[in-house]
Amino acid sequence: MARSQKVVPIKLNQDQIAVLDKVVELGEFNGRSHAIRELVLPALNAGVTAMNHGSLRAMVTWVKEIDGLNQRMKSIEKNSLKGKQEDMDMDLGLPPIEVQPV
């Protein structure tokens, strides 16, 4: 049986990979691919809506999709706070992420 999913490479620098790995851990994802897929799906669904119905409806789709993703972000926040309570001096050492041109 053919797989319905295909691998799509993505380039990230070391700092971005460190953040992604922490998001995977704290967000209880099943790995990097799972995290990236869930994080990018709102944009893809909004893109489909833009192509079919225009940008205004695409933004409505984006907001609805992001609202769903917000539950995962709450989980990341909760798990992050739990870890900080265990070690108040814990520094994740994660730099801010900047969008860079390809």
15-65 pLDDT, tens per residue?
Answer: 999 999 999 999 999 999 999 999 999 999 999 999 999 999 999 999 999
Question: What spatial distance separates the first Cα and last Cα of the chain, rounded to whole Å?
Answer: 35
- Confidence grade of residue 90 (pLDDT, cut at 50, 70, 90): low
Give the pLDDT of residue 1: 43
57 inside domain: yes
Considering its fold, how many domains does the chain have in total?
Answer: 1
Q: For residue 51, what are the domain limits?
A: 14-86
Alpha carbons 82 and 13: distance in angstroms, whole number:
28
Which of 17-31, 55-69, 70-84, 88-102 has the lowest average pLDDT?
Answer: 88-102
26 inside domain: yes
Instruction: Give CA torsion, residues 6, 43, 51, 2, to 10 deg.
Output: 10
Q: What is the pTM of this model?
A: 0.73
User: Any residues with CB less than 8 A from the CB of 73 and at least 6 apart, and which?
Assistant: 27
